[in-house]
Homo-oligomer: A and B are copies of this chain.
Amino acid sequence: MAKEITPRSEDYSQWYLDIVHKARMADNSPVRGCMVIKPHGFAVWEKMRDALDAMFKETGHVNAYFPLFIPKSFLSKEAAHVEGFAKECAVVTHYRLKNDPNGAGVVVDPEAKLEEELIVRPTSETIIWHTYRDWIQSYRDLPILINQWANVVRWEMRTRPFLRTAEFLWQEGHTAHASAEEAMEETLRILDIYARFAEEYMAMPVIKGIKTPNERFAGADETFCIEALMQDGKALQAGTSHFLGQNFAKAFDVLFLNKDNQQEHVWATSWGVSTRLVGGLIMTHSDDDGLVLPPKLAPVQVVIVPIPKPAPALTEVAEKIAAQLRAKGVSVKIDNDDQNRPGFKFAEYEMIGVPVRLGLGQRDLDAGQVEVARRDTKEKSNVPFDGIADYVASLLDEIQTNLFNRAKTYRDEHITKVDTWAELEEVLENKGGFAYAHWDGTTETELEIKERTKATIRCIPIDGEKEPGKCILTGKPSERRVLFARAY
């Protein structure tokens, strides 16, 4: 099975699609640009969702649910927002079908035309701020810290499973505050949560940064992001947190009485991560044999394979080991299939990314040991039954750490300071990764660099140092370097 995967060196893009399909993460669907998330892919997303949801709740956020549909006129209310989102949308124009009078199935009933078209939400700021107007009167009603787990639709022309799909699943936080300072704190608190989640759970190192005005969310005063680096040297925007200022409050007329008894527009943030993260996870760790999953997000962390096939004596020991592991909170599957051979099974579990495989045959039983294979390095070792649960539990931690370190080493090696145009082109064309260069701060320059290199400014790193220099294109003065890269 593994042999069917196109090697990364040959065609990275095809390798990604092969992993998605052969590791049973997702399938294409009959609806253009929409995917079917298969059980294995969905189980990974569920683990991501649960971890993030707990982090949101720990910081005082609650979940709610707003309508799928947005009246068309809402999109026009915030001037910048309409430019960004009132474009490629799914538009509902009718609310009824009827039998085709000519007998050819069903047709749209022309009598059932909506007075105002409804847009399938591409993001929910407009309908939520319309609602907040009713919820907010005074500073006592603030802050509102709401998150929503939902599906959204953006009619993308070029799609790729998880990374860019017409419909995707995400969470969108929408908070309302009594001051700019508090809203900015919230924006950064969420950015930190996203970075912590990416690094601690996904084992995916990220750079926290600020987007340039050109890359800002439509309707935001400031957009913050986490940027990751994939194995082909392309960057991936993995999450964004927006300081929306008072833009949506002004567009939807949301005022509150502040402590000084004055009417003031409410301050806002919004922030989201999506099933795109599953794509980032795949591309960060996987190899030519299949998916590699960090243990914290693996639906099954350990599989026990009786060799050559299930037998009562083997199953008895397998059950004992499984019970010890489960007592430590490890998720374990015992392979009870008696049709396929161990070699086939090993390849299969490597394909779907189970972090640790335990092989257990009669000879192991006699020797009082089990063969432990780790997915990340493919190393195998024989470990005595005594203390096996402790060994495996700490091995899972080690795999989690190793995956992060491996990805971080790659990422760090692919941040290159460049000071000349030739160096910039060299990095983008050949080495890949981030080019860390000076930029004069204008959108004009940013767009010209994009035009000439296909690279965008991924972000201005928050933790970057101030360092005077000259713009790599125009030679004009610059206060600090920014990260350029080609990106997904």
- Whether the pair A75, B131 counts as a contact (CB closer than 8 A) is no
Given known contacts A36-B66, A73-B105, A95 and B155 CB-to-CB distance under 8 angstroms? yes
Measured in the bound complex, the distance between the Cα atoms of B73 and A375 in whole Å is: 44
> In the complex, A31 Cα to B71 Cα: how many Å?
7
Q: With A29-B127, A72-B106, A75-B97 as known contacts, state yes or no: A64 contacts B91, CB within 8 Å.
A: no
Residue pair B68, A106 in contact (C-beta under 8 Å): no
Instruction: Closest B residue to A39 by CB, please name it.
Output: B62
Contact partners of A99 in chain B: CB under 8 A: 86
B96 with A88: CB separation less than 8 A: yes
Q: Residue A37 at the B interface, CB < 8 A?
A: yes
Q: Give the number of residues in A that approach B within 8 Å (Cβ atoms).
A: 64
Q: Are A97 and B72 in contact (CB under 8 A)?
A: yes
* 0/1 interface trace, chain A 68-107, chain B, CB 8 Å (1 if under): 1111111110000010001111111111111100000110
Is the pair B43, A62 in contact by a Cβ cutoff of 8 Å?
yes
Set B63, B73, B95: member contacting A39, Cβ < 8 A: B63
Contacts of A106 in B (CB 8 A): 72, 75-76, 82, 86
- Is A38's CB within 8 Å of the partner chain B? yes
Contact residues, A384-432 vs B (CB, 8 A) = none
> Which B residues lie within 8 Å of A39 (CB)?
62-64, 146
Q: Determine how close the nearest CB of chain B comes to the CB of A478; give it in whole angstroms.
A: 35
Whether A120 is near chain B, meaning CB under 8 Å from some CB there, is yes
> Within the oligomer, what is the number of copies of this chain?
2
Chain B neighbourhood of A35, CB < 8 A: 67
Contact pick for A86, options B37, B42, B97, B134, CB 8 Å: B97
- Asked if A264 lies at the interface with its beta carbon under 8 angstroms from chain B, I say no
Interface string of A43-63 (1 = CB under 8 A from B): 101100000000000000011
Q: Scan residues 144-180 of chain A and give those whose CB is less than 8 A from a CB of chain B.
A: 146, 150-151, 153, 155, 167, 169
Once bound together, how far apart are the Cα atoms of A140 and B98, in whole Å?
A: 40
Residue of B nearest to A152 (CB): B68
- Contact, CB under 8 Å: B68 / A134: no
- Using known A-B contacts A63-B46, A64-B42, A82-B105, determine if residue A88 contacts B95 with beta carbons closer than 8 Å: yes
Task: List A residues at the B interface (Cβ < 8 Å).
Answer: 27, 29-31, 34-39, 42-43, 45-46, 62-76, 82, 86-99, 105-106, 108, 117-120, 127, 130-131, 134, 140, 146, 150-151, 153, 155, 167, 169, 339
